Structure 1
């Protein structure tokens, strides 16, 4: 019986605020999955790198969940690409957690993102337990779909991911498309790649409250509210949203009286190199009167923004799934998204939203404008968006993940010693 697992999230803590720095959908994924597992009697110990001297070495945020803040390198000033050099320190402390316990303390390791996967391969061998790994994003996929001004992922990451694919007992893909990429680009064994969709907290992200949400956020009741939510970096393409807004106003000048463009999130990744780039773009496009920049907010306030919006735009160059899209639809808001990665799974094209090929702002303007001005069209998609999102609850994700764990345990038992 599965009693306790080690969850590895080396480069970002599930306790960090999503939408800021390196915190995003993966943080939500790790925490929500851990909550679901804990509620089913499986204890979860999460290992993540400490980023402040003020963090307690061990935290117990909820019953059944323990978070270890591992001291590995300087607390501050390290970027994600600097972290591979600190993995030895991270591995040392993760392995120590088992040494200090009775043998067989952990039944399984579940690692997230390639940095954690590297640690997971060592823990698998030393602890004699199966390894399950979730990529979340992959270097080969990201490098094939780079945004302008973004840097390619280093070759060291490619080699690291290839090693994880070879050694993991089971791989979790967020979508069928990601499963295909793992098999075709990384030569993964099809029998060891399972599709498990991420979920959405249907208690937090709820529909039917646009008027209340707008009043709380100070948004006019008749506003045409276009929302972008996420990390501010080229990969997420928030510039496409601003350029699309400029195109819409050029085509329909009367829209300006009602248009509000809300950008919710903080700078991340290569976006940190030019932290004012998006606000500078807004000024150059003459949009300062309609654009609002909102710093990263809590999940509950983010739900208010989704509920208040007329349409949410997710124009990313790559998304392994697209939690923003599912969360928005759960709040009854249609989504216009790029036809990349997992977004065709997250958004039902023509039903709960619209998928756009490429990243031409004019194409996004054409998709967004009808949803901003046609209340009947928007309301019809809103009802379908809620129905679509309801099939992505975290309880479904947890049950499917437990099945993957069972498969990993069985595969490990058959593997050569």
Structure 2
């Protein structure tokens, strides 16, 4: 498989999962060296502006045309509207018919009327995906979004993402300390400002309650300001690798975020929710987009207000026995439904099902 990365592809996500599929070897065009057993082709990008993030990055990868289509069975990329997906479609179409790889597009998109789809050249990238052989959805809502946009259901497969349940595992003895964990980009759409406000409400009842924050982003200054005041009991852990995140979670009592929609984004699933539950933590978050696919009972989805967030956090922090019970249920569900080894095998089966169709 040839994987065409976005310029800011996050590690241990889609590319990593593709590299873990049984019987698969991945060659990845990427700016930074990816995690996984794969071949890395160091790549640069033509990026006139940095206005959009993630799949909306206004960027094209350099060097794709140097790759031989005859060397790959598949070419894959992330999201329908990403410009690298449009590049992959064009590169594939230029290959002779007998040497043309199959194309896969991985998508989390849950907005049927995604506004970026109306903007050239994102619209062109979207239209190029209509000839893709596999549309691999990471959430159920992504399939609904594809059907609403006229894609062929026979090419759609849904496989939920997995988490490494060995790295993300519960503490031998759950903490009794009232520590709340926030692990997410420090951006308005992830709600660190709302969480900071909620923690001040929590501390009126539990003065010793503390917040540990991992991540980076434009609202880092707000977190640093809170961390500089010892009365706020906020600690900024910075950017952590998977093991660091797992250690942080095991030392916490509750996991929280507070996402809110933007003009082109709403919460899709949230891998951090899965990682926290795999570590045996209850989750408190605001109701946003389709995060109910990840956050189910006994966890709490609340309204977008600091008061609602604080009340839910207090309920968990004041009841250690309830936390333990919820943590066991969360851990069991993650092992049953989101174990990484199981899910990457299911992803491989999705690719194989399309290959059988073409072979017949």
**Do they superpose with TM above 0.5?**
yes
- What is the RMSD of the two structures over their aligned residues, measured on CA atoms? 3.0
Q: Deviation at 1:85? A: 5.7
Confirm whether residue 32 of structure 1 aligns to residue 23 of structure 2. Answer: no
Aligned positions, number: 346
1:321 to 269, 280, 285: 269
Partner of 1:94: 64
Partner of 1:262: 212
Partner of 2:263: none
The separation in 2 between residues aligned to 1:246 and 1:370, in whole angstroms, is 15
- Equivalent residues of 1:32, 1:394 under 8 A apart: no
Confirm whether residue 181 of structure 1 aligns to residue 145 of structure 2. Answer: yes
Give the TM-score of the pair, scaled to structure 1.
0.74
Evaluate the alpha carbon distance shift between residue 305 and residue 174 of structure 1 in structure 2; reply closer, same or farther with a 3 A threshold.
Answer: same
Partner of 1:243: 197
2:286 to 338, 341, 346: 338
Partner of 1:365: 310
Confirm whether residue 155 of structure 1 aligns to residue 96 of structure 2. Answer: no
2:3 to 7, 29, 40: 7
Structure with the larger RCO, 1 or 2 (CA within 8 Å, 6+ apart): 1
Secondary structure in structure 2 of the residue aligned to 1:28: coil
Partner of 2:76: 110
Evaluate the alpha carbon distance shift between residue 411 and residue 164 of structure 1 in structure 2; reply closer, same or farther with a 3 A threshold.
Answer: farther
2:29 to 28, 47, 60: 47
Secondary structure in structure 1 of the residue aligned to 2:182: strand
Evaluate the alpha carbon distance shift between residue 238 and residue 395 of structure 1 in structure 2; reply closer, same or farther with a 3 A threshold.
Answer: same
- Equivalent residues of 2:20, 2:36 under 8 A apart: no
Partner of 1:71: 44
Evaluate the alpha carbon distance shift between residue 201 and residue 283 of structure 1 in structure 2; reply closer, same or farther with a 3 A threshold.
Answer: closer
**1:222-265 CA distances to partner (integer Å, 9 max, x unpaired)?**
4201111011112211112112212323xxx2401x20111111
- Equivalent residues of 1:139, 1:158 under 8 A apart: no
The separation in 2 between residues aligned to 1:118 and 1:321, in whole angstroms, is 25
The separation in 2 between residues aligned to 1:47 and 1:70, in whole angstroms, is 6
Q: Deviation at 1:161? A: 5.4
Evaluate the alpha carbon distance shift between residue 319 and residue 412 of structure 1 in structure 2; reply closer, same or farther with a 3 A threshold.
Answer: farther
Q: Deviation at 1:411? A: 5.5
**1:134-167 CA distances to partner (integer Å, 9 max, x unpaired)?**
1234676776xxxxxxxx8982475145324423
Secondary structure in structure 1 of the residue aligned to 2:301: strand
Secondary structure in structure 1 of the residue aligned to 2:351: helix
Evaluate the alpha carbon distance shift between residue 343 and residue 247 of structure 1 in structure 2; reply closer, same or farther with a 3 A threshold.
Answer: same
Unaligned runs of 5+ in 2: 261-265
Unaligned runs of 5+ in 1: 14-22, 52-58, 144-151, 212-220
The separation in 2 between residues aligned to 1:67 and 1:139, in whole angstroms, is 32
Evaluate the alpha carbon distance shift between residue 112 and residue 60 of structure 1 in structure 2; reply closer, same or farther with a 3 A threshold.
Answer: closer
Give the TM-score of the pair, scaled to structure 2.
0.85
